[in-house]
Structure 1
Amino acid sequence: MAYGENRIIRVIKGRRPRVVVIGGGTGLPVILNALKDQNAEITAIVTVSDDGGSSGSIRNFINVVPPGDIRNVLVSLSDLSKEGKDIFQYRFDSSDSFFSGHAIGNLIIAALNEMHGNIFEAVQILSKMMHVDGHVFPASNEPLTLNAEFVDGTTQAGETEITALDKQIKRVWVTDTDSDDEPKAVLPVLAAIMQADAVVLGPGSLFTSILPNLMISNLGQAVRETKAEVIYICNIMTQQGETDHFSDADHVRVINEHLGGHYINTALVNGAKIDMSEFHPEDYDAYLEPVRNDFAGLREQECRVITDDFIDQRHGLVFHDGKKVGKEIINLAFEAMSRRRMDED
């Protein structure tokens, strides 16, 4: 069921719909896999401000953009055999003081970055080696540090430290980890956004996976200026230390506030009830409750809303249903292609 204007779906021949997905975290590969099955021309723009886990440890030893999200995105778009993907994803479980807990793919990305001098070129080379169907672009060529101001006026730097405080976040921004230079995205990132039919934000942690990308000044400006349909995939569950008690409208509002206007064109929100009897909170480190619907609040954000049963709940875990979400994105991309062609005629 869709709230808002009727959608007209046209099949447009000549090229695949161009879809740019911006974000990070575990939700991103689910959407990328679905879009790959829909035969979209995909560009994934991946967060580079993570400082936890294997990525954070490697970042402490080697001056490199955190590789974890990049690794998962490469695998999701790769046409390698299952065995090849499993090797790339393998995480050491030995007691070795350095290798324990590290994924092989993270080490390969760090090595290529060192060999070629920048993470963007390293990822493009690895994309060819892994037969990636699409493009994988780090949001920045340099490691970035996430900064937050809380509602109480205090500030904190570092993703792990920000979420550990479990305080309500007012706003976030990013800084270059190693210099005073203003963080910038490289030209291929900007070109992909400007040429896209659909730009997708999420799903993923609002303040630590989505907004860090948009706070890179020229990347955020490209999202504001693109003629693509800007789509937000709202999270299914709230996240402790980030979005406690948030509604779907709260998520959209925060993104629009950081962008400085009403730039979300369409929000995809779950309208199905989650079976909490099958939900096991101990399986999650940071999830609290289902994100509640606030359609009046969404109307205030001036975005079209598409609501459906977007959940895939299995064995007490809750995910987005990639197939359903992917189909909605492709439909919206085709609409944007139609509008662009009519504008050009």
Structure 2
Amino acid sequence: MKNKRRQPRVVVIGGGTGLPVILRGLHNKNVDITAVVTVADDGGSSGILRNYINVVPPGDIRNVLVALSDLPQLELDVFQYRFESSDKFLAGHAIGNLIIAALSEMHSGIFGAVQELSQMMNIQGHVYPVTNEPLVLNAEFKDGTTLSGESEITAAHKPIERVWVTPSDDQDGHQPAAVPEVIEAIMNADQIVIGPGSLFTSILPNLMIENVGRAVCQTKAEVIYICNIMTQKGETDNLSDADHVRILNRHLGHNFVNTILVNTEPVPEDYMDFQRWNELSKPVRHDFQGLRKQDVCVISTNFLKLQDNGAFHDSEKVVEELMNRLQQSHD
């Protein structure tokens, strides 16, 4: 009798709203999922909790847990519930953020907290905060000035030259490092998926941790970058898809992106509500020649999902393409 083939191992790296979209699509596929989540967010409820109790910001982790959980919808709705502004002390806080913060104190760190919560929430796969400590995102802009803090960097609305991360408690000058489980997952993966998400504030904060960047460059897995559909104000204005890859490669000093998924379906301008989605600017322009010069395999098709007067990735179409890539690599 033949041995049952093991599930393909897929590692998805990112943060923000793009990561859960892909994870929800992968959730019911026959794959072993590991989500590696950024810990450099300092806005909203996450930022307030971080400032009060120096916990790793829990917001992105909360959304990833929900995307991979098999709990009934009511329990997930409670976990996601955000207190109203009239509640004063609890205003704006999501219950899940408070639970993650409490478990982090109980376990002396976010990593153990998330592993316990993963069991409680019946997570299918693995959720790994990229480090066990809060990180600060730093940026140097093209005009030579620098800023620290994700929300400060985004609010500056200036072209970014490069980003790097430092521990929030940087008194001893140590370099941040990912937990061993993250590195092991990357090195043993069949496929690494990066994005979609904010290039400088959701994706690069993970890759700028030295042992993560090194592992992503050394892994034998296919590294697939899901390029954003729209540019982001103050982050990626006027950048082409080839520019996105060029920035990723330059930050790691290596052409590590093997494949890019590019949406070619036009976004109807009269459909977009740019007041509601005020961080978005215009569709990412295509530079297929620039991508080929970087030895990137280009998969360009209709990945667009129009929803709530915004432009998003259709998770079913994206995941179908990811499954095709896995199938081809296993044949």
TM-score by length of 1: 0.93
Determine which of 169, 191, 195 is the counterpart of 2:160.
Answer: 169
User: Identity over aligned residues, as a percent?
Assistant: 61
1:66: which partner in 2?
Answer: 57
Equivalent residues in 2 for 1:228-307 (5 A)? 228-307=221-300
- Check the 8 A contact 1:228/1:336 in 2, yes or no: no
CA offsets 1:233-285 (integer angstroms, 9 cap, x no match): 00000000100011111111100111111100000000111111111101113
Q: CA deviation at 1:13?
A: 5.9
Structure with the greater relative contact order (CA < 8 A, sep ≥ 6): 1 or 2?
A: 1
- Check the 8 A contact 1:148/1:171 in 2, yes or no: yes
The gaps in structure 1 that reach 5 residues or longer are 1-11, 339-345
2:43: which partner in 1?
Answer: 52
2:79: which partner in 1?
Answer: 88
Question: Structure 1 residue 132 and structure 2 residue 137: aligned?
Answer: no
CA offsets 1:135-176 (integer angstroms, 9 cap, x no match): 000011000000001111111111111111111100000000
Determine which of 169, 183, 186 is the counterpart of 1:190.
Answer: 183
Give structure 1 regions of 4+ aligned residues with deviation exceeding 4 angstroms: none
TM-score by length of 2: 0.97
CA offsets 1:208-249 (integer angstroms, 9 cap, x no match): 000000000001110010000000000000000100011111
1:97: which partner in 2?
Answer: 88
Q: How many residues align?
A: 327
Question: Structure 1 residue 30 and structure 2 residue 21: aligned?
Answer: yes
CA offsets 1:55-99 (integer angstroms, 9 cap, x no match): 001001111100000000000000000001000000000523320
2:214: which partner in 1?
Answer: 221
Determine which of 101, 111, 114 is the counterpart of 2:105.
Answer: 114
Distance across 2 between alignment mates of 1:329 and 1:312: 17
RMSD: 1.2
- Check the 8 A contact 1:271/1:308 in 2, yes or no: yes
Question: Structure 1 residue 178 and structure 2 residue 169: aligned?
Answer: yes
For 1:131, the aligned partner's letter is N
Determine which of 151, 158, 170 is the counterpart of 1:160.
Answer: 151
- Check the 8 A contact 1:145/1:174 in 2, yes or no: yes
Distance across 2 between alignment mates of 1:65 and 1:292: 35
- Check the 8 A contact 1:77/1:133 in 2, yes or no: yes
Distance across 1 between alignment mates of 2:88 and 2:120: 30
For 2:195, the aligned partner's letter is G
Q: CA deviation at 1:316?
A: 1.5
